[in-house]
Amino acid sequence: MYDIQSYHVEWLVTSEQLQSDVTIRFSNRLVLSIEPGRTADAVELGPVAMVEGLVNAHTHLEFSSLSKPIPTTGQFTDWIRSVVKYRRENPGLTSEAIGAGIEESWQSGTTVLGDIATVGWSADDYSKAGFQGTVFQEVLGLSPDRIQQQIELARSHLNGHTANAPRGVSPHAPYSTHLDLFRQAVEIAIRTNSLLTMHLAETKAELELLRTGTGEFREMLMDFGIWNDTLFQTPLKPMDYLELLAKAPRSLIIHGNYLDDTELKFLASQPQMTLVYCPRTHAAFGHSEHPWRRLIELGGRVAIGTDSRASNPDLSLFAELQFLTACHPDLSQLDLLRIGSRNGRLALGFEPHSRSKTPADFTLIRLADSALRSPHPELFGPANRVCGTMVNGHWVWLAPDLASQTLSS
Ligand SMILES: [Zn+2]
């Protein structure tokens, strides 16, 4: 027997349905029923919208201890150099940062995360904080001598991959990952039926490195002492990477800021691939306009990520959706909800909400204008606030007033 919990809310919003004045019953991590009005046993949550749980499809929780982002105003490689320095100077912060990042995610309404883990982490760091999501083991290195050790690292992580707890591997980026290491990471993802993610086409400088082996990345790699003249000799394009990434059961392309139309059309033709757009990080680096709307127009899948606190002031996926609402007032809030929730679940290997089976992962949003006849026009309006987060049928966070109400009922 499982406990049944019932809550009455003013609005229930998923990317498939909108209902008002309903009681939602939960049992065994699923929605059991949705009934009109308030049933006798229902806890009253008041003028809030219970929304399909938000999904942060890309972050690096290990940087969650940073109180403010590392400056993004210079060259991109200046930022990379500062990130490398920060990591070197703070080797002991990883466990604490992962816990803090998960807690921050709960408090901002996120229910599922896609996290990139590097070194110095343990499964406990995630389970202690009640993590729900996909952990990707990062692999990188430009020296052929490193490949075997990196693949071993990925293999031991992916051994725990199951349908209920998806795992993945992340070859970091074209400028940091030897082509042979990248190819082997793709193979191991295929063999273990795991997920694959990679930062790709993030900067114009990356495209230059791939095309001609020159530019700021070459200078940085020389300064790091890891350049050699056999690297980046054959001209490549992001498409060369996309074609390999497409072979994995599921892959997430991070950023894709400079994918061209041919590459976007290719992505749109691959339903197992998702482009993860990180709106505020993209804006912080001052990139050209992001092609996410073009990809949607072409029929491709877009999900949203915060990236890390090394480039973003917080880990709030809700704030990303508020930012997009302000930048794209013509877009429907339901379309934004879809890319901020359902698409992220699909990308990370989690079952999406459906009419027949609805996982109990929800974000509660307090609407600033409680007289709204429908939350549609401004679900992610600037004055709205997250006031609760339900993961797997448990409240992992509730605003203090709601918490006292819920506990006293
Ligand atoms: Zn990233």
Q: What gap in Å lies between CA 268 and CA 164, rounded to an integer?
A: 27
| Dist. CA 160 → ligand 1 center (Å) | 23
- The residue ranking higher by pLDDT, 378 or 112, is 112
Mean pLDDT of the region 57-84 = 95
Q: What gap in Å lies between CA 59 and CA 105, rounded to an integer?
A: 10
* CATH number for the domain formed by residue range(s) 54-348: 3.20.20.140
pLDDT confidence of residue 347: 98
| Dist. CA 399 → ligand 1 center (Å) | 29
Q: Residue 379 above 70 pLDDT?
A: yes
Taken in order 187, 62, 276, 388, is the CA torsion positive or negative? Answer: positive
| Dist. CA 199 → ligand 1 center (Å) | 6
Contact 194, 167 (CB under 8 A): yes
| Dist. CA 232 → ligand 1 center (Å) | 22
158-192 pLDDT, tens digit each? 987 777 789 999 999 999 999 999 999 999 999 99
| Dist. CA 308 → ligand 1 center (Å) | 7
| Dist. CA 149 → ligand 1 center (Å) | 22
Contact 289, 45 (CB under 8 A): no
Closest CA to 60 of 220, 327, 363, 276: 276
Return the SS3 of 89: helix
Chain position carrying tokens 């997430």: 252
| Dist. CA 202 → ligand 1 center (Å) | 10
| Dist. CA 236 → ligand 1 center (Å) | 22
Q: Residue 372 above 90 pLDDT?
A: no
| Dist. CA 276 → ligand 1 center (Å) | 10
Which residues touch 41 (CB under 8 Å, ≥6 apart)? 6
| Dist. CA 177 → ligand 1 center (Å) | 14
Q: What gap in Å lies between CA 63 and CA 90, rounded to an integer?
A: 10
Structure confidence at residue 356 as a pLDDT band (50, 70, 90): confident
| Dist. CA 408 → ligand 1 center (Å) | 42
Structure confidence at residue 15 as a pLDDT band (50, 70, 90): confident
| Dist. CA 391 → ligand 1 center (Å) | 24
User: Domain ranges in the chain?
Assistant: 4-53+357-408, 54-348
| Dist. CA 172 → ligand 1 center (Å) | 8
| Dist. CA 200 → ligand 1 center (Å) | 10
| Dist. CA 162 → ligand 1 center (Å) | 24
| Dist. CA 168 → ligand 1 center (Å) | 14
Count Cα atoms within 13 angstroms, Cβ side, for 251: 29
Cα–Cα distances in angstroms (integers) from residue 194 to residues 170, 185, 241, 270, 409, in the given order: 11, 10, 18, 17, 43
| Dist. CA 263 → ligand 1 center (Å) | 20
Looking at the chain, the whole-number percentage of residues with pLDDT higher than 70 is 97
Of the candidate ranges 135-149, 150-164, 207-221, 294-308, the one whose mean pLDDT is the lowest? 150-164
How much is the mean pLDDT over the chain?
93
| Dist. CA 157 → ligand 1 center (Å) | 19
pLDDT confidence of residue 282: 98
pTM of the predicted model over 0.85: yes
Domain 4-53+357-408 is classified in which CATH homologous superfamily?
Answer: Urease, subunit C, domain 1 (2.30.40.10)
Burial of 304 (0-12, 13-18, 19+ CB in 10 A): buried
Q: What gap in Å lies between CA 85 and CA 407, rounded to an integer?
A: 46
Mean pLDDT of the region 213-231 = 96
Q: Residue 2 above 80 pLDDT?
A: no
Structure confidence at residue 281 as a pLDDT band (50, 70, 90): very high
